[in-house]
Amino acid sequence: MSLGIHRLIQWFDNDAVEHDSPGIDWLRVMPFIGLHIAVLAVFWVGVSPAALFAAALTYALRMFAITGFYHRYFSHHSFKTSRWLQFAFAAIAATAAQRGPLWWASHHRHHHRHADSAEDAHAPSRGLLWSHMGWFLDGAHFAPRRELIRDFSHYPELRFLDRFDFLPPLLAALGLFALGSWIESTMPALQTNSWQLVVWGYVVSTIVLYHTTFTINSLAHRFGSRRYATRDSSRNNVWLALLTFGEGWHNNHHHFPGSARQGFYWWEIDLTWYGLKLMSWLGLIWDLKPVPARLRAARREEQGV
């Protein structure tokens, strides 16, 4: 098999990804670049209230799946749930094209082990652009760190999502296309169509998801306040918390990563926590880990920047 064909196969099968190829593989990241270019299609498809609603809804649903499940569940075991719900939200989060649950959680666990050190994949010392998205595009980080995610790696359905992580985004885009076509034929008063729903409900929504999620690796280690004297540069930032459904309380999180709640106080808005709490009342998840009072009050470092 030629090298070119092998590299193209990597778009579809992550088991073919080279584990030790540092540097940006421009062929490998063409889908990421292409998705950014596709945003320009908004000028072709136009806009409608239905399209904006689709963009907002798909953003909110997938942000919750990423923050609540990729992050707080798969990365930190901050609550428990059933196997079917575990898979359902892993699949929803995977539609955001931020790779599979095993990849996401294993790299995040590595970040907590080496936060802001030379071993941290997205250390801020390597520059804002690198910590924001350069590390995500680097070939050295395409493979999951399987030694850090053995607890979830025995689920074949999760391994499937990781191996073929192109499938959930593709199916989401196709689903929006079919929905837009159905709405156009049955509810023409909504003035939307298949391509408009794909562009706004998938492309625009996904690009915004990329860069709001990435700000936690970049901006939340540079701008904000520090309540706790953690061994890294994590900061609390209310604006990022609002955009990322609570992830912007990043200094809180690095102080006690195991908590299902990252807004430690009632005035720290944490939309993901509210969603998880609702799911616990419905019996869908359980054993949400709280913030121990002694840890919440410990190692204070009030320092606004």
Residue 177 and residue 31 in contact, taking contact as beta carbons nearer than 8 Å = no
How far is residue 116's CA from residue 125's CA, in Å, rounded to a whole number?
Answer: 7
Q: What angle in degrees, to the nearest 10, is found between the helix axes of 101-113 and 156-163?
A: 90
Amino acid occupying residue 54: A
- SS3 call for 227: strand
What does R_g of the chain's alpha carbons equal in angstroms?
20
- SS3 call for 225: strand
Give the number of other Cβ atoms within 10 Å of residue 216's Cβ. 24
DSSP assigned state of 126? G
Q: How far is CA 90 from the centre of its chain?
A: 11
What confidence score (pLDDT) does residue 257 get? 96
- What are the φ/ψ torsions at residue 177 (nearest 5 degrees)? -60, -45
- SS3 call for 46: coil
DSSP assigned state of 221? G
How are beta strands 285-286 and 80-81 bridged, if at all?
Answer: antiparallel
Residues forming a β-bridge with 226: 303
Burial 253-287 (b: 16+ CB within 10 A, else e): bbbbbebbbbbbeeebebbbbebbeebbeeeebee
What confidence score (pLDDT) does residue 139 get? 84
pLDDT in tens, the chain (305 residues): 555 566 667 767 777 765 556 788 788 889 999 999 999 999 999 999 999 999 999 999 999 999 999 999 999 999 999 999 999 999 999 999 999 999 999 999 999 999 999 898 998 888 999 999 999 999 888 889 999 999 999 999 999 999 999 999 999 999 999 999 999 999 999 999 999 999 999 999 999 999 999 999 999 999 999 999 999 999 999 999 999 999 999 999 999 999 999 999 999 999 999 999 999 999 999 999 999 988 888 866 544 44
Residues forming a β-bridge with 236: 225, 249
Nearest of 76, 131, 94, 134 to residue 14 by alpha carbon: 94
What confidence score (pLDDT) does residue 305 get? 40
